Chain A
Amino acid sequence: MSHSPLARFSAEVRALTLDNGLAVFTLQDPEADVVSVQTWIGAGSAAEEPDQEGAAHLLEHLLFRGTAAVPDGELDRRMEAMGASINAWTSTDATCFTVTAPADALDEVLWLEADRFAGSNPSQEVFAAEHEVVLNERRAAVESDPESQAEEAFLTLCFGDSPYGRPILGRTPQLAALREGELRRFLLRWYHPQNAAVVIVGAFDPDALQATLQRTWGAWTPRGAAPTAPGWGYAPRRRQNVALPVASRRLMAGWPLAAWGSHEHQAAWLAMQLLVGSGSAPITRRFILEEALAFDVFADAEGSVGPGVAMVGFTPRPGVSLRALERAWADELQRFVASGPTPDAVDEAIARALVAEAAQLGHSSHVAHLIGEGWRMGGDPRALFAWFESLPTLSISALREVARPWAAEAPWRLSVRPLSGGRA
């Protein structure tokens, strides 16, 4: 492992802190033609207060829409005119702004990025237009897509009305009611240097970079330590049946999952890989490849800054009941807990995870993402590299133990059936 590409990248990450408290992480690749710059804000939709639902994502949009120095529309145009690929995304725990550009554009990219965080100033007209655009995005991404509706229903089932239970884009009525003042409050509370990190990966001159960073990002006014996000909790145990215009019946089941970075979370992630994550995993092998019980099996134990949900879902084949799938799942889990995976199976699952990562390392933006995600999850830019590196230290007994609750009935269970008459 010590010679793996991930270990090499981890060793080459450099960290510095500007005078205003902004963390900057760099990884130089002199052979690269391009450079990736990512700005991470340590707050996403889970940091919203009840009357701010949808604010984190709408604010992400508005950060593209003008400052005192760069009028609305100019940021995108100037970035694109340099050949930069520019985007952003919002999760429950973070908001990330990404730019990948030809290496010679770095100075201007840094200036433009720093300017929009220090001086975002959208007009009322721009707010109104972008508000409508985001409502349109929600209608397209969720209200026209029954799969997304099922996912939303499942999250609400697990987390109720706490921040992790609300959709990142916000529910339509709450999003429609969102006021500009709430956005400004969210911006002032979360968007400042002590709650942000800038990641730069690719081709750059390290000697010149520090002065450029101080000249650009150094102008962002500090506002003290990052505040604490609102509290949250799990919803009570509950089973729910919903009818949606989906093609087929499906079942989604969830169990509590420890916070990212904990030993328990890492074990849960690997246990889920061993159970569902490949054709060699017993659930996939039995359900899909050998007994043809289900069209698909999906699982998620990625986790978040706060505790999350380990989720598994099935789409049964015709003639197979959801109950039969649940019984088969429980059988396999009991076997896994009783005898555990073989050491070879564990080694193979870890090797597959590392190969999947290696396949992405040709993108400087992916390497920047690994660094930023590590910072967001634990304050350490090398945390995600270390996380992969330490997978082989997990014991088989830890994997068996973490999966034990999954053999019992899930506290949250959502059954989705096709809407009768709603679709052909």
Chain B
Amino acid sequence: MKRRPHALTLAQGDQIVVAEGPTHGLVTLIGSFGLGAAEDRRADGGTCSAWAMTQRGTALRSRSAWVQAMERCLAQFDVQTTLSRVRWQLRVPRARLEAALDLVEEAFFRAADDPASWRELQEDTDEWVRQTLETPEGALERQWRRSLWPRSRWGRPVEGFARYRQLRSARASAELEEIRRRSFAAPWVFGLAAEDAGALVPELEARFARWRAERPLTLSARSAAPPVAMKGRRSQHVEVPWSSQHALWVIHAMPPASDPAWPTYQLLAAAFGRGFLSPLLSEIRGRLALSYHVGAVLIEGAQGSLWSWELEPEGDRVLEAYDALRAVWDAWLNAGWDAARWELVRRALIGGTLVEREPTDARLRHALRLVDAGRPLDAYGDDVAAWQSIDGEVVLNAARNLGLSSDHLVLSAGREGPGARAWEDRDVQVARPLGVRALR
């Protein structure tokens, strides 16, 4: 594989992942701080809003003036908070990188903290959540963690819940600095994609050393305990009264991406996931016409990975869809595939990976995902070699041992659920249904 990304350790001890290749004069710089919203003590979205405030102006200039200054650099800047980390990204023409980074620095260290900005942020967040809940998929997107890990910090939405967000806003000033300090105190990983990335590193090193001096590395440990693994079969329905169409997700726990068997699970996902080789597509969509969207995805997560089956049947075909998923899965496990079919899967995964990693910044993002998952960057490209050597029977055995037919969470959203009795007939324990109001 061409232009393999590599990692360097900067003078202040943090790591930078570097991808060189054609970028048409643009630089992509990514910063990733290793603590996220799961560290919030309350469900108030504190970490998320503290970082969102870095895009609301600074002590030196209004939000409007800051945005216009960034636009004069022809830059795009974004900050995202997840449960496990805070990640920012800057994309800018090479010649304007330094000016854009000055603005990023100003936002990080002198962010706005006035009541009006906090109030606007809270209104924007509330509106965004309300819009998210307009569709069944949006409702499940907001609900799944909570159903999967109730009473755990990993079960909360990153933005928190509306009633706690109001509290957060009221005491914003007192906690803002502490939250940012905590995020900054974790180890950082930077990513850089550019045509002359190597030449840029010393310049960035000096700047990041200055940042680190403002917020010393204290290696603060995570305070959020990992969630308890799911046991048994559970179901929960979210009432979306205006939608006859349902979103149906069936979620299973998986080992973390650092597990030595991870390449085997990736091959499993290629065989039985979203692709056209999967019997899911040919049976559920092609033959039974149960759903336009159908697939299974493997989701890497710091708190353990997940396997999620997702489809969108009509409301009166939810149970039929659930039964069909399980029947297709069981039939596949029993019948297996011959060596030729497995060879097709391997080629699909390897070729698809080549296509996916075509642009330079896509190679950078993939390398950063490896680092986030706790895997060595040396593994970049090794997954391809691993897939080539894994036998189909090994994948099938791994699939049988995962218990995907036993412990799982069924989530549905739409006008009316199939009813508790119907799920109980399938040995699924039913939880109290929710309306979208409860998800705010």
Contact = CB atoms under 8 A, between A and B. Distances in A.
B344 A351 contact: no
B421 interface: no
Interface in B267-307: 275-277, 281-282, 285-287, 289-293
B135 A144 contact: yes
Contacts of A245: 134, 241-242
B123 A358 contact: no
B418 to A, nearest CB: 17
A33 B134 contact: no
Contact of A351 (B67, B74, B358, B362): B74
B131 A247 contact: yes
A5 interface: yes
B130 A247 contact: yes
B242 A419 contact: yes
Contacts of B202: none
B412 interface: no
A197 B93 CA distance: 34
B282 to A, nearest CB: 6
Contacts of A419: 242
A97 to B, nearest CB: 14
Interface stretch (B219-227, B249-257, B330-338, B348-356): B348-356
Interface string B355-372: 110111110000000000
B175 interface: no
A104 B428 CA distance: 48
Interface in A12-39: 31-34
B124 interface: yes
Nearest to A33: B354
Contact of A81 (B70, B312, B347): B347
A423 B242 contact: yes
A52 B195 CA distance: 50
B114 interface: no
Interface stretch (B23-31, B45-53, B400-408): B23-31
Nearest to B56: A289
Interface string B135-153: 1100000000000000000
Contacts of B235: none
A172 B413 CA distance: 22
Nearest to B124: A295
B24 A247 contact: no
Nearest to B23: A362
A407 interface: no
Contacts of B23: 362
A364 B359 CA distance: 9
B82 interface: no
Nearest to A361: B24
B71 A352 contact: yes
A380 to B, nearest CB: 23
Nearest to B242: A245
A139 B245 contact: yes
A11 interface: no
Contacts of B24: 5, 358-359, 361-362
A143 B243 contact: yes
B91 interface: yes
28 contacts: A5-B24, A32-B358, A34-B354, A34-B355, A73-B276, A76-B281, A77-B344, A80-B275, A83-B348, A83-B351, A101-B351, A134-B292, A136-B289, A137-B293, A143-B243, A144-B245, A246-B131, A247-B131, A279-B64, A289-B63, A289-B67, A290-B62, A295-B124, A318-B123, A355-B74, A362-B23, A423-B241, A424-B440
- Per CB-CB distance, the 7 closest pairs between chain A and chain B, nearest first, are A83-B351, A362-B359, A76-B276, A424-B437, A279-B67, A247-B130, A132-B289
